[in-house]
């Protein structure tokens, strides 16, 4: 009888300890599932004109990973941002990792800059890559590549769903050498339409 009581007590203790451990792990799991704290969005969509800076690269592309190219992209982002500010335009950056591995693409984009929007993975089927290379704005399908796009957004409500907008490419530079030369000249925007609005900045 005494032995049975000891066994029963031991079983109850084991059950209580197990329940405590499981509960603690469950609470930790739920805490990991909680949404991350809200952070400010630097590039909130607003009605009107904005400049969209698009970088297309790949971790598998040698020229995309040259330190000189990465430095040039960073400088050109600053240059174009300054032009957008002086022209009272919005400014947004988009990084496209045009390769099959999304994780490798994300790693490459993080090394290049901190982008407002990113599209990674799926190689030639990357949806953002298709838009800026083969569909909406056809061009050479090579990396690295930089585009400056002028975008006009219609009036926005509380969401950005179904917003009408138009776009035109002002600058397209393909290849590390072409991008670096462009940046060395001050990252000029030489579109005639842009220049006719007296918003050009420095000409090459």
pLDDT of the residue at 6 = 44
CA-CA distance, 16 to 24, in Å (whole number)?
A: 12
74-128 per-position pLDDT tens digit: 999 999 999 999 988 889 999 999 999 999 999 999 999 999 999 999 888 888 8
What's the pTM value of the predicted model, to 2 decimals?
Answer: 0.71
Give the count of beta carbons closer than 10 Å to the beta carbon of residue 52. 24
| pLDDT band with cut points at 50, 70 and 90 for residue 194 | low
pLDDT of the residue at 101 = 93
CA-CA distance, 15 to 195, in Å (whole number)?
A: 77
Q: Sheet harboring 165-174: ordered strands across?
A: 117-120, 90-97, 48-57, 145-153, 165-174
Q: Which residue has the higher pLDDT, 8 or 93?
A: 93
CA-CA distance, 151 to 169, in Å (whole number)?
A: 9
Least confident stretch, 18-32, 78-92, 161-175 = 18-32
58 has a pLDDT exceeding 50: yes
Rg (CA), the chain: 26
């Amino acid at each position: 009888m005494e032995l049975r009581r000891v066994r029963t007590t031991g079983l109850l203790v084991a059950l209580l300890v197990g329940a405590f451990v499981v509960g603690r792990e469950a609470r930790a799991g739920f805490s990991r599932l909680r949404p991350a704290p809200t952070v400010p969005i630097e590039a909130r969509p607003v009605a009107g004109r904005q400049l969209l800076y698009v970088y297309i690269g790949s971790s598998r592309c040698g020229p995309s990973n040259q330190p000189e190219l990465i430095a040039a992209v960073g400088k050109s982002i600053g240059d174009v941002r300054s032009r957008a500010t002086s022209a009272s335009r919005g400014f947004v950056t988009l990084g496209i990792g045009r390769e099959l591995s999304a994780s490798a693409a994300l790693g490459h984009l993080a090394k290049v800059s901190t982008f407002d929007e990113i599209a990674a993975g799926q190689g030639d089927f990357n949806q953002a890559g298709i838009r800026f290379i083969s569909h909406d704005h056809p061009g050479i399908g090579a990396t690295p590549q930089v585009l400056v796009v002028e975008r006009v957004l219609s009036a926005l409500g509380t969401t950005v769903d179904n917003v009408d907008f138009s776009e035109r490419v002002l600058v397209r530079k393909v290849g590390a050498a072409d991008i670096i030369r462009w940046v060395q000249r001050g990252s000029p925007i030489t579109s005639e339409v842009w220049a006719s609005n007296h918003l050009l900045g420095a000409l090459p």
